[in-house]
Amino acid sequence: MWIADQWKDYEVLDTSEGEKLERWGKYLLVRPDPQVIWNTPKKLPDWKKMNGHYHRSAKGGGEWEFFDLPNEWSISYKELTFHLKPFSFKHTGLFPEQATNWDWFSSLIKGASRPIKVLNLFAYTGGATLAAAAAGATVTHVDASKGMVNWAKENAAASGLEDAPIRWLVDDCGKFVEREIRRGNRYDAIIMDPPSYGRGPKGEIWKIEDSIYPFIELTTQILSDKPLFFLVNSYTTGLQPAVLSYMINTALVGKFGGHVTASEIGLPVSSNGLVLPCGASGRWTNN
């Protein structure tokens, strides 16, 4: 498992009864987590000091209950700063477990000794975009949500990257890639974090089981002659590391060589030394 264990402003303090207790800077949140199916005693006193609690509804969705939590606050990871705010469906605008991928591709970009163009698809609030830009890459950031792209721009400004070579686009990722193929544009690296289900700006439907492999194949057409890396993240239960590995191997290795690794990603739990699984990633590199 690839573990995001370099955080100072974030930690999973404890897990029990379908929930995780997290520290985001100086604030404590309790949120549901489908991986937490064990019921251990909630002995940690911080369980009773929470600033926000997301209650899952039996009908689907849920709602926040707040206890002295600001509307927005910030945390940092190394040189990056992220604005956080609790919003619908339990999220805060950041997936801390992705830091293990940020560190991985940042070292590749820094070691490439050549200019690197990165395309970040389904780019959300820009964690991967900022990490790649901070490592020295030129980045194209694409997301179908205007609100998320604006949030990512705020994170870039907070991280001192407002003047970094980042192109911000509100667009359907599939349609954007098709246009890039026609335009002949190429990228040295692709990052994608596709949702299980979603709609584009004009109602385009994305269902990951039907769409992900054809989309990976499509994106190989905009890779440069000597691509540096390719990263696919998944939070969908059916897309296990072995499935990610097989898809990336099939789509990329025949064309570009290189090799693929895939694994669960996770976060350490400070109260007991366990690691909380948080999805999976598949990585391709050219060596």
pLDDT, mean of each 10-residue run, the chain (287 residues) = 98 96 98 90 94 88 93 97 92 97 98 97 97 98 95 98 98 95 98 82 73 94 98 87 96 97 97 94 95
Q: What is the CATH number of domain 2-84?
A: 2.60.40.1180
Q: Identify residue 253 by its one-letter amino acid code.
A: V
pLDDT at 192 (0 to 100): 97
Is the pTM value of this prediction over 0.75? yes
For residue 97, the model assigns a pLDDT of 98
Identify any residues that bridge with 31 across adjacent strands, giving them in sequence order.
20
Q: Tell me, what's the pLDDT at 239?
A: 83
Alpha-carbon torsion 192, 197, 203, 205, what sign?
A: positive
CB-based contact 20:34 (threshold 8 Å): no
Q: Is 58 exposed, middle or buried (0-12, 13-18, 19+ CB in 10 A)?
A: exposed
Written as six digits, the tokens of 257 are 């060589």
The domain limits of the chain are 2-84, 96-285
Tokens 């440069």 sit on residue:
224
Note the CATH architecture for domain 96-285: 3-Layer(aba) Sandwich (3.40)
CB 104 within 8 A of CB 75: no
